[in-house]
Structure 1
Amino acid sequence: MARILAIDLGTKRTGLAVTDPLKILANPLETIETGQLINFLKSYCAKEEVEAIVLGLPTRLNGQDNEMTPRVMKLKEELEKAFPQLKIALEDERFTSKMAMQSMITMGSKKKDRKEKAGNLDKVSAAIILQSYLEKQ
């Protein structure tokens, strides 16, 4: 069964999450350097069956674009060209970083560990974006 993959795009690091084969749960997958994203996705999609990619859409609290919005829209176009067989969707990502941090605190992650493992925050944020998308389907 095909999975759905989510992307939390950052300027340096990008968090990735993926569903289980039944598309019920979103799980953090990986944090990679943003420049390696397309190559990573090509490799991942060659190994795993993926039916859709969900991009976190960053906006301001009032819904207006922020500085990352054009980068996400550019990535969406690149993904549509690189993976024409996949559905590419956008999902509101407001508050996901704060939710991810709170989730890590709730799970018992120490402050020192959270600072050292900033990449964990990115992939947990991607999982929250993906779970939000799944709940709307």
Structure 2
Amino acid sequence: MLGASVTVPSACSVLSLDVGRKRIGLAGCDPLGITVSPLPALHRGRFDNDLLVLRHHCQTRSVQGLVVGLPLDAAGQPTAQAEHCRRYGVRLAQSLGLPLAWVNEHSSTWAAGERHGLQGDRTGRLDSAAAALLLEQWLQDGPALKPAQSMAAGTGAEPIDGGS
């Protein structure tokens, strides 16, 4: 059962990603997990180019982990985009040498649009607002960050129950 063994994460500087095909919404939090801030969205390119930008964010923010949204449907089942997000998240975490956690991003873009009046935004602000909601959800509910190797092996990769 999803969420049955959720451990609330220890506060640390984390980078949250709302991975899309064209853009990646980004948000970060302070090392105490008190303040969540949307960051400029990354307009997708080749993975190596994305990695350079994301590595810079991680270094300048002293990031200790990644939170990646997984798009699940209303029944909690993975969507077609979920596998893409899972592969991207694992590859990124392994490349950066950082642990990661998955968060159910069901309705996060809609919720961010409603909260911030960004419905229909194509600039990336909506994507980063959604990433901020994912990070807020993770700070409240977990799960704890885990090594990317365990995610690639298929263990510990289940997102938490519920969504934003």
The interval holding the TM-score normalised by the smaller chain is 0.7 to 0.9
Q: Name the % identity.
A: 28
* Equivalent in 71, 93, 97 of residue 84 of structure 2: 71
Pairs within 5 Å for 1:78-93: 78-84=91-97, 86-93=98-105
SS of structure 2 residue aligned to 1:11: coil
Give the TM-score taking structure 2 as reference length. Answer: 0.71
Structure 2: gaps of 5 or more residues:
1-10, 143-164
Partner of 2:15: 5
Partner of 2:129: 124
SS of structure 2 residue aligned to 1:50: coil
Give the TM-score taking structure 1 as reference length. Answer: 0.84
Does the alignment pair 1:101 with 2:117?
no
* Equivalent in 33, 39, 43 of residue 23 of structure 1: 33
Structure 1: gaps of 5 or more residues:
none
Q: RMSD of the alignment, in Å?
A: 1.9
Which protein is richer in helix relative to its size? Answer: 1
Which protein is richer in strand relative to its size? Answer: 1
- 1:47–1:59 CA distance, 2 compared to 1 (3 A): same
What is the number of equivalent residue pairs in this alignment?
A: 129
SS of structure 2 residue aligned to 1:73: helix
- 1:41–1:66 CA distance, 2 compared to 1 (3 A): same
